[in-house]
A and B are shown apart, each in its own frame.
Chain A
Amino acid sequence: MLRAKDLHITFNQGTPIETRALRGLSLEIPSGQFVTVIGSNGAGKSTFLNAVSGDLSVDSGVIEIDGIDVTRKPVWERAKHVARVFQDPLAGTCEDLTIEENMSLAWSRGQKRGFPRALNGSLRELFRERVAVLGLGLERRLSDRIGLLSGGQRQAVSLLMAALQPSRILLLDEHTAALDPKTAAFVLDLTTKIVAETGLTTMMVTHSMRQALDVGDRTVMLHQGKVVLDVSGAERKGLDVPDLLQMFERVRGEKLSDDALLLG
């Protein structure tokens, strides 16, 4: 379970370019739920994800994973509970290392690493099995540098790596955005498969409203650093992209008029 309570993050505080990225964002995700997150540019989606992963520290608020307060824990300590796939396919893997070395890194995520060999026969066998599921022929290229793979292939491997060790939370930050449509569909397919198999509590940021409604169990819309829409179940099933767009416009309009009032 993930619980975020009243998160505030402000960038460049006290300067003319001050940006209030999160303004009291609260969200609770029960174990095993797959939540899609949408919102316009600057709504705070990525900031929120980075706050959960620990890449950004919050100014105030509390983040709990399975009841444990992780608000002040660094990224590498949270990694025990949080797996992540980045938007940039190059960011989630180490291009100088081979496919199997990358997977070995993920294999010891959240564990004491120590001095056993990073790779051995049985681990290679395990990695080969996992990679073979992709059907990309990567099982024959385990000792190739991962920098030689395409963006889509690397993103697929990143997903496998995220599921290699049990964790609590899976964070997906527009992880299909940098891929061509066909590859994006493949990676998204893989995502739903892996989430279904592992039962991970998942939060997926996406720019596609279609994707947001089709995938997962619940959709959350962020605007100006807050949750402005939260739909699930039957209500969500009944929604279509135009409905969502309309809600989106209405939220923006209301906010705009709020601001107008303030300014006036």
Chain B
Amino acid sequence: MSFFSMMGAFEIGLIFALVALGVLLSFRVLRFPDLTVDGSFPLGAAVAAILIVNGVNPFLATFIAMLAGALAGIVTGWLNVRLGIMDLLASILVMIALYSVNLRIMGGPNVPLIAEPTVFSITLPGWMPEYVERPLLLFVIVIAAKLVLDWYFSTRSGLAMRATGSNPRMARSQGVATGRSILVGMAISNAMVALAGAMFAQTQGSADISMGVGTIVIGLAAVIVGESVLPSRRFVIITLSVILGAILYRFFITLALNSDFIGLQAQDLNLITAVLVVIALVLPKLKSRFKRRAAPAAKES
């Protein structure tokens, strides 16, 4: 693996760290299986791209993309909380709807950004090659997102959100408006995913309707890899582990694609992702089975 492709993996890993933080919030904190992200990722890309093409400041465009993502999350939450549609189904409905919405926003299947200004082109000083500087800016953004989440979950409001996911009945009896908690959580989660989409479009030089396919699986893979690499119950560590997971995951993929002897090609990406997630899901179970065998009848619960 060359230095160039390593920085490339780092860059994409950082972008998907944002997705992973969003997925952590919906799947782990709220326990809401949210597939909206497959739609809010390209939504963020579409909104940012179309605004940039129309001359809006890239930072403002990115911010508006986040708002659009938040709105998508709220719609999913609202379908579930207020209309009583099953969580998974509600998110699939919004995901499907977003496919049309994204096409409408872009006015076609893709919007090229090659010649347009981006958050990278207007901030980076150009002291180092672009493929080094871009990951550095992304790193700053990801760390900022992590710190905001860490802060939020240390507040009373954030604690109420954790209780909502963990034991909604108890949360309500402690005066938590669980419906509102879910809406807010879904908004934050999808805003982060849309931010990732906006960043992705600006690094790749275009927004594309199909770029969202499998976002949820990659996000989940990052969360799971992170949890097995750095298991913890402290939220500050969990967010860190999820970011690590996203970057590690991307390195694995790059490694697999760059190892000519395996014979894998770019189109095998989703297959590799699925296999990696299965391995990450099964490994902890195998580990505990071996442990049990090593110490028979030591600790049975």
Residues of A within 8 A of B (CB): 53, 55, 74-77, 79-80, 82, 84, 86, 91-97, 101, 104-106, 108-111, 113-119, 145, 161
Segment from B109-117, B173-181, B207-215 that makes contact with A: B173-181
Task: Report 25 cross-chain contacts, Cβ distance below 8 Å, ordered by A residue.
Answer: A53-B173, A75-B173, A76-B175, A79-B172, A79-B173, A79-B174, A80-B175, A91-B167, A92-B170, A93-B167, A94-B163, A95-B166, A96-B162, A96-B166, A97-B159, A101-B162, A105-B163, A108-B156, A109-B174, A113-B155, A113-B157, A113-B159, A114-B157, A118-B154, A118-B156
Does B233 reach chain A (CB closer than 8 Å)? yes
A-B contact count (CB 8 A): 91
Q: Tell me whether A95 and B175 are in contact (CB under 8 A).
A: no
Mask, B137-179, CB within 8 Å of A = 1, is 0000000000000001011111110110011011111111110
Given contact pairs A95-B166, A96-B162, A118 touches B175 in the complex (Cβ within 8 A)? no
Assembled-state Cα–Cα distance A118/B176 (Å): 14
**Cβ distance B175 to chain A, nearest Cβ, rounded Å:** 3
Assembled-state Cα–Cα distance A52/B157 (Å): 26
A83's closest neighbor in chain B, by CB? B173
Residues of B within 8 A of A (CB): 152, 154-160, 162-163, 166-167, 169-178, 233
Given contact pairs A75-B173, A94-B171, A118 touches B233 in the complex (Cβ within 8 A)? no
**Cβ distance A88 to chain B, nearest Cβ, rounded Å:** 10
Assembled-state Cα–Cα distance A26/B197 (Å): 58
Using Cβ atoms and an 8 Å threshold, which residues of chain B touch A75?
A: 172-173
- 8 new A-B contacts, CB < 8 A, other than A82-B173, A105-B159, A113-B155, are A92-B173, A94-B162, A94-B171, A101-B159, A104-B156, A113-B160, A115-B156, A118-B158
Using Cβ atoms and an 8 Å threshold, which residues of chain B touch A145?
A: 233
